[in-house]
């Protein structure tokens, strides 16, 4: 597992807080915002895409709450707060509520997701690989820290990839299409071998044999056939470009648990290795992406892989505890 820099996390939290403050100011009916304040909000929102994204997320979160009559809310508050000296303005109460939601929403979002993963039909721990033969004789392999749900019926075979990466060798049955679903899209094959890697912003499909039809989650999204040696990023709203990959390199990963890369940015290599390490690997990937890796690295021994990288690149690997490893740039 890996973490981004604490500065990035702090910056994100600051943006969420600022968005909450702007949202309260813009929605205050007792003291409507002035034209100058509206323009300042517009300028702030357009200064950085993350600002607009934070406002959109808060608006979506508060959508159902805004349906509750404000007059009733204020009346209820006034019953228990009669002393003017102790009265709080609606704006202050709303601001407090929104700021609390900004703090606790990640926890409320994480909890049901964590329960879903715990209840998954098939799952692997960090550093573990496991293969399963399904009821239709298809074979599915889960990479490190992965989870799936299996949903088979008389007309269709569906795998819900909840986390991580899988390789599937599909048992042919034209009457029952084999489908892998993620939050980003739908991947359909009749009889083939392919892998799907679910990441934060997209799912990466690699086709090893035959072909797979890829489509995104958006209604009306294009359906694109992907052939052996081709890969595609499936985003929730669109499909990425089709590019080539080495089938032999992919097979090496699944069969020998070795990562073979040719010119991959160092930060991306570290992100992959971190998925196979039981502790945290802390690094700032921005300066590391100036370096490109061509090597074969052992996925089952990520610390050995890090040592090999440290011999070839200006990085220092510091293991403070078995659960915390830091990678920093050096001057060599």
Which pLDDT does position 286 carry in this prediction?
Answer: 83
Question: For residues 228 and 211, is the Cβ–Cβ distance under 8 A?
Answer: yes
Question: For residues 14 and 20, is the Cβ–Cβ distance under 8 A?
Answer: no
Name the band, by pLDDT with cuts 50, 70 and 90, for residue 301: very high
Which pLDDT does position 114 carry in this prediction?
Answer: 67
pLDDT surpasses 90 at 181: yes
H or E element that contains 321: strand 315-321
Domains delineated in the chain: 2-77+88-118 (no CATH), 124-248 (2.60.120.1440), 257-329 (3.55.50.30)
Kindly report the backbone phi and psi dihedral angles of residue 309, in degrees, each rounded to the nearest multiple of 5, phi listed first. -65, -40
Which pLDDT does position 99 carry in this prediction?
Answer: 58
Residue ranges in the chain assigned as alpha helix (H): 6-26, 35-47, 49-62, 70-80, 90-118, 247-256, 266-274, 285-288, 302-312
Q: In DSSP terms, which residues pair with 214 in a beta bridge? A: 187, 224
pLDDT in tens, 46-88: 888 888 887 777 666 554 444 444 444 334 334 444 444 444 4
Measured distance CA(142)–CA(163) in Å, rounded = 10
């Amino acid at each position: 597992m890996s973490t981004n820099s604490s500065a990035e996390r702090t910056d994100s939290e600051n943006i969420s807080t600022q968005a909450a403050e702007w949202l309260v100011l813009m929605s205050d009916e007792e003291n409507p915002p002035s034209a100058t304040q509206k323009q300042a909000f517009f300028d702030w929102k357009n200064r950085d895409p993350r600002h607009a994204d934070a406002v959109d997320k808060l608006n979506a979160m508060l959508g159902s709450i805004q349906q509750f009559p404000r007059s009733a809310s204020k009346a209820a508050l006034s019953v228990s707060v009669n002393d003017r000296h102790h009265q709080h303005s609606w704006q202050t109460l709303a601001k407090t509520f929104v700021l609390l939601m900004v703090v606790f929403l990640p926890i409320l979002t994480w909890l049901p997701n964590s329960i879903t993963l715990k209840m998954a039909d098939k799952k692997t721990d960090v550093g573990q690989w496991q293969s399963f033969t399904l009821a239709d004789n298809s074979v599915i392999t889960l990479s490190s820290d992965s989870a799936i749900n299996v949903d088979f019926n008389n007309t269709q075979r569906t795998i819900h990839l909840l986390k991580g990466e899988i390789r599937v060798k599909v048992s042919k049955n034209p009457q029952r299409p084999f489908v892998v679903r993620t939050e980003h899209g739908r991947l359909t094959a009749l009889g083939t071998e392919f892998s799907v890697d679910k990441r934060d912003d997209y799912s990466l499909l690699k086709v090893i044999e035959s072909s797979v039809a890829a489509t995104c989650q958006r209604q009306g999204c294009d359906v694109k056939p992907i052939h052996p040696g081709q890969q595609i990023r499936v985003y929730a709203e669109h499909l990425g470009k089709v590019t080539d990959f080495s089938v032999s390199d992919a097979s090496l990963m699944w069969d020998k648990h070795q990562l073979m890369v040719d010119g991959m940015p160092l930060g991306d290599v570290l992100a992959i290795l971190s998925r196979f390490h039981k502790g945290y690997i802390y690094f700032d990937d921005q300066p590391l992406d100036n370096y490109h890796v061509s090597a074969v690295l052992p996925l089952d021994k990520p610390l050995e892989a890090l040592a090999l990288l440290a011999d070839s690149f200006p990085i220092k690997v510091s293991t403070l505890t078995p659960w915390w490893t830091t990678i920093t740039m050096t001057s060599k």
